[in-house]
Every structure is written in C-alpha cells, then in structure tokens.
Structure 1
Amino acid sequence: MASENKSAAAFRTIGEVAQVTGLAAHILRYWESRFPQLRPITRAGNRRYYRPEDVALVQRIDRLLNHEGYTIKGVQQLLAREGQAGAAAPSPSPVAALRAVRDLLAQALAED
C-alpha cells in the first residue's frame, strides 16, 4: 500500500491508520469523540489526516484499553492529568527515553 512508501513524518488517512493499528475506522472515529487529545486534521469532505503524533496516541490508547485493562474513563483521566502536567514540565525526548531503556537492559544482562 502507499503508506509503506511514506516518510515517518507524513500524514496518514484513517484507512492507513486502521491498517497499521489493526483497529476499525469506526473505532478511530469513536475515539475522536471520546478523547479530546486525538484531533486529526480534517480537510474538504471531512477527510481525516493523522499526524505521526496522532498515530502514536492511537497506539497508546489501544495499548491502555485493550492490553492493560483501562476503561475509557480511566484513559480519559490519565490523558487529562498528563496534559495538565505536560504543560508545566516538558517530556523527555524519545531518544533519551530509548537510551534509558537500553541502559536498563544492559544492566539487567550484566547482572544475569
């Protein structure tokens, strides 16, 4: 599909996001109504275009709801709290977070 040839920073249609995440398009539209943080850009004809950060948020909501056992209300509260805290303190960069995970894994392997 065309999404495989797109850069990581490219916008995705709702169909492409549905294919990547394994979620149905109607679920994504429903989540847009339940999570104010999820706001893809809409163009003419109400076509939705998801930014990379929107796709990451969809994947996080999916993980919280379908794998970690959160309820919709619980995820709403979690995201709202993070939104308030995020305004006060910037989040660490993804590279820094990956380095921290790498260091923890290296330490665990060294102890084994």
Structure 2
Amino acid sequence: MASDEKSAGAFRTIGEVAAATGVAPHVLRYWEARFPQLRPVTRAGNRRYYRPADVALVARIATLLNVQGYTLAGAQKLLAGERGGAPAPKPAPDDLRAIRDALARAIAND
C-alpha cells in the first residue's frame, strides 16, 4: 500500500513525511530538536511515526521558513505564541474612553 493510500488519520514514517512535505529527513530531525511542539511518536529502534497533527506542523514550519521568510528563531517564537494561546492585545485606554463617550452620546440622543 502506498503512502498516498493511507487513511487520513494514519501515522507516517519520516520518509513518508519527507516525501509529502519536501523537507529532507535530516531537516525533520533537526526541527524536532528546535521546535518542542514537534514530537513524533518513537517506537522500537527509534523509528519515528508522525501523527497527522505533526505532519501539519511540519508543513506550517516549512511555510514559515521557506515561503514567508521567517528565521528559525522567529518561527519558534510565533509557534510558541500560537501554542500558548497568546492573549489578544488589550485595547488602549484612549480607545476605551472614546467608545464609552460614543455610547454615552448615543444613549443621550435617544
């Protein structure tokens, strides 16, 4: 059975992930050391098996580095923020005052 015929939820070997994403196996091993989010399952003999989420993460890292021009450190920082669910930036106090004043005027005009 070819890797293209595997079910969507099937685990992939490092060779299959490399073929699917265009990222060389030695680069995948390097990324595992650099990105704590990328942790494939390891079995006997240290064989790596990538879950579908791991394959998606490899594709995301490849896009960040090779297409969008992020540095390795920049991609690490971005992915760490995504994983941690970085909070949305808080509105500035001036913005909040302007909204409050606009609402007060709207209520007063009714």
Assess same fold via TM > 0.5: yes
Instruction: Name the % identity.
Output: 70
Moved over 6 A (4+): none
CA drift of 1:36 comes to: 0.2
Give the equivalent residue in structure 1 for 2:104.
none
SS of 2:10's partner is coil
Largest Rg, 1 or 2:
2
SS of 1:28's partner is helix
1:52 partnered with 2:61: no
Q: How does 1:62-73 map to 2 (within 5 A)?
A: 62-73=62-73
SS of 1:20's partner is helix
Q: How does 1:3-14 map to 2 (within 5 A)?
A: 3-14=3-14
Give the equivalent residue in structure 2 for 1:78.
78
Cα distance in 1 for partners of 2:58, 2:34 equals 12
1:70-101 deviation digits (Å, cap 9, x = unpaired): 00000110111111117x8xxxxxxxxxxxxx
TM-score by length of 2: 0.76
Give the equivalent residue in structure 1 for 2:17.
17
Aligned residues: 87
CA drift of 1:23 comes to: 1.2
> Which has the larger share of helix?
1
SS of 2:16's partner is helix
Cα distance in 2 for partners of 1:80, 1:64 equals 13
Q: Which runs of 5+ in 1 are unaligned?
A: 89-112
One-letter amino acid of the structure 2 residue matched with residue 58 of structure 1? V
CA drift of 1:59 comes to: 0.2
SS of 2:85's partner is helix
Q: Which runs of 5+ in 2 are unaligned?
A: 88-110
